[in-house]
């Protein structure tokens, strides 16, 4: 579920008086999502998403997220556009939480992406990276390599209960990745950092929008590709689908060609992307109390992806062809 903060009809009416977007017609909580409280609002003029930012989103980061969506939308990317209130501000407070309205995007996310979906995703990711150029606010990636060991420490005494030997396996991988990442020098820019299938909308086979920019940050652009290869191109049996990887990489490269250094770095970046989601899922797995309504995501799915990358040799394992 993703309605942590209940908004009453009176709260909503008072909130909407600050906007010039018509009167509320329907208002309902959205079950999907993990981080924030989301509501679908239809007014006499249009549909919107109302988000109340919950505890994992630092209020100091909100100008980055909202400003980024505005920057990308102005450059033609199909992403939510923050709606400004009568006072010109997009960031407001509602029920004691930071809150914002953004435009609603049509489309549905796909559960089982095809190679065609992966190609559309690769193109949109490259377009996002291009459109992000020139965005003036900086946000370091708190979940890049410097952030992984603290997560592992937070799980440490308990991770072997999730899988025997997991703590030692994570520690050895972090030793490897900390050295490998330190040696990378790659083009950087704004990345989405969580562009999983649930954050990409399609109308039929056409990609209609990208959502959920609340992990976006500055990092190596190719790290975003690695996150997507992990999230889009593994099959339910945990085999990597090279056809999907090739489709994603080729479509990305047609818009923003990869440098030789980026191609060479893909296996390392994919290992990093695997441990990043392994660790955040592991901490959530261990810290979420029994009976909580939030759906817990399986950390071991990402352990299996990590093991695949440890065995893989070069970017050809992802379907890369020069």
Ligand X SMILES: N[C@@H](CCOP(=O)(O)O)C(=O)O
Ligand Y SMILES: Nc1ncnc2c1ncn2[C@@H]1O[C@H](COP(=O)(O)OP(=O)(O)O)[C@@H](O)[C@H]1O
Q: Which is nearer to ligand Y, 84 or 246 (CB)?
A: 84
**Binding of residue 297 to ligand Y (CB under 6 A):** no
Q: Which is nearer to ligand X, 206 or 296 (CB)?
A: 296
Smallest distance from the beta carbon of 215 to ligand X, in angstroms?
A: 7
Q: Is 281 in the site for ligand X (CB under 6 A)?
A: yes
> What's the CA gap between 34 and 49, in Å, rounded?
15
Out of 105, 184, 250, 255, the only residue in the binding site for ligand Y (CB under 6 A) is 105
Contacts of 90-93 with C-beta under 8 Å, sequence gap 24+, read 90/66, 91/62, 91/63, 91/66, 92/15, 92/18
Q: Which entry of ligand X, ligand Y, none binds 277, CB below 5 to 8 A by partner kind? A: ligand X
List 201's β-bridge partners, or say none: 209
Candidates 173, 212, 219, 262; binder of ligand X (CB under 6 A) is 212
The mark string for 7-46 relative to ligand Y (x by CB under 6 A, - otherwise) is -----------------------x-xxxxx-x--------
20 closest CA partner among 95, 131, 101, 94: 101
What percent of the residues of the chain are helix, what percent strand, and what percent coil, each to the nearest 5?
45, 15, 40
Per-residue contact string for residues 74-103; x = within reach of ligand Y by CB under 6 A:
------x---------------------x-
Tally of CB atoms within 10 A around 165: 9
How many C-beta atoms lie closer than 10 Å to residue 158's C-beta? 15
Q: In angstroms, rounded to a whole number, what is the distance separating the alpha carbons of residues 124 and 78? A: 9
Residue least distant from ligand Y (Cβ): 33
- Min CB(126)–ligand X separation in Å: 20
Task: Find residue 29's DSSP bridge partners.
Answer: 39
One DSSP character per residue, 274-316 reads HHHHHHHHHHHHHHSPTT-SSPPP-HHHHHHHHHHHHH--SGG
Binding pattern to ligand X, positions 154-193, x when CB under 6 A? ----------------------------------------
Q: Are 108 and 204 in contact (CB under 8 A)?
A: no
Phi, psi of 143, deg, nearest 5: -110, 25
Instruction: State which of positions 155-214 bind ligand Y (CB under 6 A).
Output: 198-199, 211-212, 214
**Residue 72: alpha-carbon gap to chain centroid:** 15
- Shortest distance in whole angstroms from residue 124 CB to ligand X: 16
Tokens in use for 252? 């990305």
Smallest separation (angstroms) from ligand Y to the CB of 80: 4
* Cβ proximity to ligand X, 40 vs 297, nearer residue: 297
32/89 with CB nearer ligand Y: 32
Contact residues toward ligand X (CB under 6 A) are 33-35, 194, 196, 198-199, 212, 277, 280-281, 297
Contact residues toward ligand Y (CB under 6 A) are 2, 30, 32-36, 38, 49, 80, 102, 104-105, 198-199, 211-212, 214
């Amino acid at each position: 579920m993703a309605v942590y903060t209940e908004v009453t009809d009176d709260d909503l009416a008072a909130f909407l008086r600050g906007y010039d977007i018509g009167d509320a017609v329907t208002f309902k909580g959205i079950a999907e999502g993990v981080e924030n409280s989301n509501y679908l609002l239809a007014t006499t003029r249009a549909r919107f998403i109302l988000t109340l930012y919950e505890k994992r989103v630092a209020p100091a980061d909100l100008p980055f997220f909202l400003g980024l969506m505005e920057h990308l939308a102005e450059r033609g990317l199909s992403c939510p556009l923050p709606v400004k209130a009568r006072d010109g501000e997009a960031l407001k407070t509602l029920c004691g939480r930071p809150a914002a309205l953004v435009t609603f995007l049509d489309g549905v996310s796909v559960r089982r992406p095809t190679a065609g979906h992966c190609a559309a995703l690769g193109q949109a990711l490259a377009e996002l990276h291009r459109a992000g150029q020139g965005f003036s606010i900086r946000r370091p990636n708190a979940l890049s390599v410097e952030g992984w060991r603290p997560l592992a420490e937070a799980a440490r005494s308990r991770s072997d209960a999730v899988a025997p030997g997991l703590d030692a396996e994570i520690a050895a991988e972090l030793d490897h990745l900390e050295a490998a990442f330190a040696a990378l020098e790659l083009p950087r820019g704004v990345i989405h950092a969580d562009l999983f299938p649930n954050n990409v909308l399609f109308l039929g086979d056409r990609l209609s929008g990208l959502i959920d920019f609340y992990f976006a940050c500055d990092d190596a652009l190719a790290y975003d590709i690695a996150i997507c290869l992990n999230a889009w191109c593994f099959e339910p049996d945990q085999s990597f689908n090279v056809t999907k990887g090739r489709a994603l990489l080729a479509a990305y490269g047609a818009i923003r060609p990869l440098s030789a250094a980026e191609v060479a770095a893909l296996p390392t970046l994919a290992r990093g992307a695997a441990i990043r989601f392994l660790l955040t899922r592991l901490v959530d797995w261990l810290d979420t109390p029994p009976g909580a309504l939030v759906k817990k995501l399986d950390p071991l799915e990402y352990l299996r992806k990590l093991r695949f990358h440890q065995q893989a040799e070069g970017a050809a394992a992802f379907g890369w062809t020069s």
